[in-house]
Copies of this chain bind each other. A is one copy, B any other.
């Protein structure tokens, strides 16, 4: 779970890390007030949960409080489309107004999880502001990684190695060591997956100031960190995805025309892949999961069909823990409430397959039955074209 920049900075502040002076606002009037309190020039930063805000016009400089008010009025209530936000963009409901920092140098500091080495990793880059992966590709020598174990923490000597790699002056070495030690401890205590300060700037007095911050928490650990879980901003999620999540469904909206309803993440991906293989485009990823209820299946089917891009649907169930009859009942219930005007191909296999098929057949709804996985995909692709 990603949190907003302003929320992340609240944590950094508690850790004692230097930040630009700032105020979080949600109206243009508040923005004006904040700007005059902080004294201009200030920066207005749209709080959306996606990177690439700068290039998308989500970060603006204001030279006067009036200016700040006008720019805030433009941003607030709009949807910001960034390189990472997806086409509909994300709603701007809050703006972080910050005093402009005069920057002498920008660097990168981050903590993450290295899956391959099964360790935590502290990463620094001699250049800040760009994505670390791009910097790694462009100038690998300017990056240093040090692995550490969550039980051991980042050692002082490791923090020093990172600091010296950054070629900081002696006073900043101490500051940096403090920062990265604090950040790594926070990372471990709160079960983070990613903590980035990018850019971390050296201001004119040589102080280290966190200009931007990105904290991502491990969804699996949220039950033991309720104070983090409560920071979730649902306005930043796709409506269908949010709805699906609440029903325990894994749904991700994509750009194609064939909706998929599958049990199991791997089979759901394979279903998307085979659609592509036969020349179609999947409209979504949808894994109903193992412990699904009839009601959740209904909701899954409704979500699927609510996507106006969908031309045909493919239900692919390999019953194991999930019973085919339960899925069938859920689908029928939902389908009966919709005007089912799109073709639906069904492939059932495994636990209670006969009963499932009977339920679907007896519903009188126009389902198309496929004998196997391949036929199901072919049919769904063909049917998606017929409706054009």
* In the complex, A152 has a CB within 8 A of chain B: yes
* In the complex, A189 has a CB within 8 A of chain B: no
Interface residue range, chain A:
under 10
**In the complex, which residues of chain B have a beta carbon less than 8 angstroms from the beta carbon of A151?**
149, 151-152
Q: Mark A148-186, 1 if CB is under 8 A from B, else 0.
A: 010110000000000000000000000000000000000
Copies in the complex: 2
Closest to A149 in B: B151
**In the complex, which residues of chain B have a beta carbon less than 8 angstroms from the beta carbon of A149?**
151
Q: How far is the CA of A191 from the CA of B152 in the complex (A)?
A: 16
Closest to A153 in B: B151
**In the complex, which residues of chain B have a beta carbon less than 8 angstroms from the beta carbon of A152?**
151
Q: Say how far A188's CB is from chain B's closest CB, in angstroms.
A: 11
Closest to A150 in B: B151
Q: Say how far A33's CB is from chain B's closest CB, in angstroms.
A: 44
Q: How far is the CA of A152 from the CA of B152 in the complex (A)?
A: 8
Q: How far is the CA of A227 from the CA of B151 in the complex (A)?
A: 25
Q: Say how far A153's CB is from chain B's closest CB, in angstroms.
A: 8
Q: How far is the CA of A152 from the CA of B149 in the complex (A)?
A: 11
Q: How far is the CA of A383 from the CA of B151 in the complex (A)?
A: 60
Q: How far is the CA of A149 from the CA of B149 in the complex (A)?
A: 14
Q: Mark A57-90, 1 if CB is under 8 A from B, else 0.
A: 0000000000000000000000000000000000
Q: Say how far A342's CB is from chain B's closest CB, in angstroms.
A: 51
Q: How far is the CA of A151 from the CA of B151 in the complex (A)?
A: 5
B-contacting residues, A123-158, CB 8 Å: 149, 151-152
Q: Say how far A105's CB is from chain B's closest CB, in angstroms.
A: 34
Closest to A151 in B: B151
Q: How far is the CA of A149 from the CA of B151 in the complex (A)?
A: 10
Q: Say how far A118's CB is from chain B's closest CB, in angstroms.
A: 16
B-contacting residues, A204-233, CB 8 Å: none
Q: How far is the CA of A151 from the CA of B149 in the complex (A)?
A: 10
Q: Say how far A71's CB is from chain B's closest CB, in angstroms.
A: 49
Q: Name 3 A/B residue pairs within 8 A (Cβ), A-sorted.
A: A149-B151, A151-B151, A151-B152
